[in-house]
Structure 1
Amino acid sequence: MEIPEGKKIYFASDNHLGAPTMEASRPRERKFVAWLDHVKQDAAAIFLMGDLFDFWFEYKTVIPKGFARTLGKLAEITDSGIPVYYFVGNHDLWMSGYFEDELNIPVFHTPQEFTFKMNTERSRSTFFIGHGDGLGPGDKGYKRMKKVFTNPFFKWLFRWLHPDIGVRIAQYLSVKNKLISGDDDAKFLGEDNEWLVTYCKSKLKQQHYDYFVFGHRHLPLDIQLNANSKYMNLGDWIQYYTYGVFDGSTLKLKEY
């Protein structure tokens, strides 16, 4: 992707809109929409790194109620010609066409490689981008659970629930189990114990990337992996309101 002069790439993750209730999350939604208005002024592209919603499931003709401000703003941005890319998180695994068809937003279910280049320079920067869930060592219980959640048969069974029932059950379980940002997620485990850091270092043994960008941890992290590679976790829009910005040469973590 070529970055025009004066433009930037923006990254944000983990809004969990709708949690703990729709009403309680509305001020956070308004703040996020204000951020989208702010960054669209010089955005070459916007990457949303998952868990924009605390729960999202697409029936064939139904989507969860709410989020009108966010969805409308995203449609406005893509209609203006600014590309937006979406990576599903562990709370919105069940995207299956609505963002692509209605908002013109490509949706990725696995991490992806991107190369960014300023059109005035020869240098290129390589990125490895994803939500971050299920990567690295450990967390075997979640990895097994994710296989169930993404299994076509179990998704087909869930669709037989009336949306009023299915969405209500899923929202209750999400908040009940403190999946927004549990206490463990909010603690820095030390570089040697951060499983996404371990994952990034393992990837670097196979191929060089200038930057790894993930969400999921709900903790803003900016860690130098070696002399030429950096890992960034984007934090969240529940407590930190942090985001990443790449100007063609440097990736920085900022607070809105």
Structure 2
Amino acid sequence: MSGQHTKTGKKLFVSDAHLGGFDKTLNRKIELELIHLIDFCENNDFDMYILGDLFDYWMEYPNHRPELGEELLERFEKYNRNTGSTLYITGNHDNWTNGYFKTVGFKIEKNHHFVNLDGKKAMLLHGDGLDDPSFNLPRPLFHRILRNPNFVKLYQSVLSPDTGLDIMMKFSRLARSREVTEAEKNLNNWARKQLESSDTDFILCGHDHSPRRLNFDFGTFINLGTFYQHKSVAVYNNSELTLVSWNDEARQLTPTPNT
């Protein structure tokens, strides 16, 4: 059930790392950058929020999970113990969860969440669609099929974990290269209408891999872009919500040009 996440203070929002979607060297680079980002957040009292597609493919079988980001998940488990549960809104590449994320301390949400930013209302989602028809952001039919518990059960009954995950990996890489064509325009239009017709002040999401900030008279839309490519994240600090970039070499956040 969607609800209100009650963490307060400085916040950092990240999405679309797609860990596992690249060659071994690049995957390791992304994983280490994320670990360094967690270190930064813990050392500087930032609460982290994941807005989907942290992994490029993730399907948990009853007794098997992808061998992805093991060091990253260990670091998140420590961070979650020290700071409280990190909100993880699953995306269209990492929504086949079966409880493992919860064991390392994540608070899992498969649709959207609202957070209070010093009296301002922020809506968080991945961006591929929402189950609640009142938001008028339906998921594509294929995404609905992939999320259907009956499909997942059938898929896992027919394919072994190794075969099933191998197919999922190849499919996810193909899907990632195709899913950004119309999504940017669609999300811009949807966010504008949603902000104008509701009491929401900010909308933050990812999904279409294009970092941007759109300011309207009635609210602000921020798309986080990709961590794997742009290193872009959003931060809330000192009553300001900004789109910035992670500089891994300097281990600090830097301004993002033209946003």
Normalised by the size of structure 2, how large is the TM-score? 0.83
Do structure 1's residue 146 and structure 2's residue 143 form an aligned pair?
A: yes
| Higher mean C-alpha displacement, 21-30 vs 155-164 | 21-30
- Provide the secondary structure at the position in 2 that maps to 1:80: helix
Matches within 5 A, 1:20-39: 20-39=22-41
Query: Shift in Å at residue 14 of structure 1?
Result: 0.3
Distance in 2, Cα, partners of 1:21 & 1:168: 14
> Cα deviation per residue 1:82-105 (whole Å; 9 max; x = unaligned)?
4311011110121131111x1121
1:58 & 1:17 partners in 2: Cα distance? Answer: 16
Aligned length: 236
Give matches, 1:72-221, under 5 Å: 72-100=74-102, 102-117=103-118, 124-134=119-129, 143-160=140-157, 161-175=159-173, 177=174, 179-182=175-178, 185=180, 194-221=185-212
C-alpha distance in 1 between matches for 2:40 and 2:83: 16
Matched to 2:167, the amino acid is I
- CA deviation map 1:111-167 (0-9, x unaligned): 1222133xxxxxx111010000136889x8x61101211112111011222111100
Task: Rate the CA distance shift 1:67–1:60 in 2: closer, same or farther, 3 A.
Answer: same
Tell me how far apart the structure 2 counterparts of residues 23 and 163 of structure 1 sit (CA, whole Å).
24
Question: Which blocks of at least 5 consecutive residues in structure 1 are unaligned?
Answer: 118-123
Aligned counterparts of 1:211 and 1:242: Cα–Cα separation in 2: 17
Structure 2: runs of 5+ lacking an equivalent: 1-5, 247-259
* Cα distance, 1:90–1:150 mapped onto 2, change above 3 Å: same
Q: State the 1:202 CA deviation.
A: 2.1
1:230 aligns with 2:220: yes
Give, in whole Å, the separation in 2 of the partners of 1:217 and 1:39. Answer: 25
Quick one: structure 1 residues 181 and 251, their matched pair in 2 at CA, closer, same or farther if it must change by over 3 Å? farther
The CA deviation at 1:168 is 0.6
Please tell me whether the aligned partners of residues 245 and 254 of structure 1 are also in contact (alpha carbons under 8 angstroms): yes
> 1: CA distance between counterparts of 2:233 and 2:148?
32
| CA-CA distance at 1:248 after TM superposition | 4.9
| Alignment correspondent of 2:249 | none
Distance in 1 (CA, whole Å) between partners of 2:106 and 2:19 is 18
SS at match of 2:214: strand
Give the match for residue 252 of structure 2: none
CA RMSD of aligned residues (A): 2.3
Matched to 1:197, the amino acid is: N
- Separation of aligned partners in 2, 1:113 and 1:81: 19
Q: CA deviation at 1:185?
A: 2.6
For the Cα contact (< 8 Å) 1:186–1:219, is it kept in 2? no
- Contact 1:49-1:89 within 8 A present in 2 as well: yes
Specify whether residues 36 and 42 from structure 1 end up closer, same or farther in structure 2 by C-alpha distance, changes over 3 A only: same
Please say if 1:242 is aligned against 2:237: no
Deviation at 1:249, TM superposition (A): 1.3
Equivalent pair of 2:15/2:206 in contact (CA under 8 Å)? yes
| Amino acid in structure 1 at the alignment position of 2:143 | K
In structure 1, what is the Cα distance between the partners aligned to 2:53 and 2:239? 28
Following TM superposition, the consecutive aligned residue runs of length 4 or more in structure 1 with deviations greater than 2 angstroms are 20-24, 134-138, 179-182, 184-189
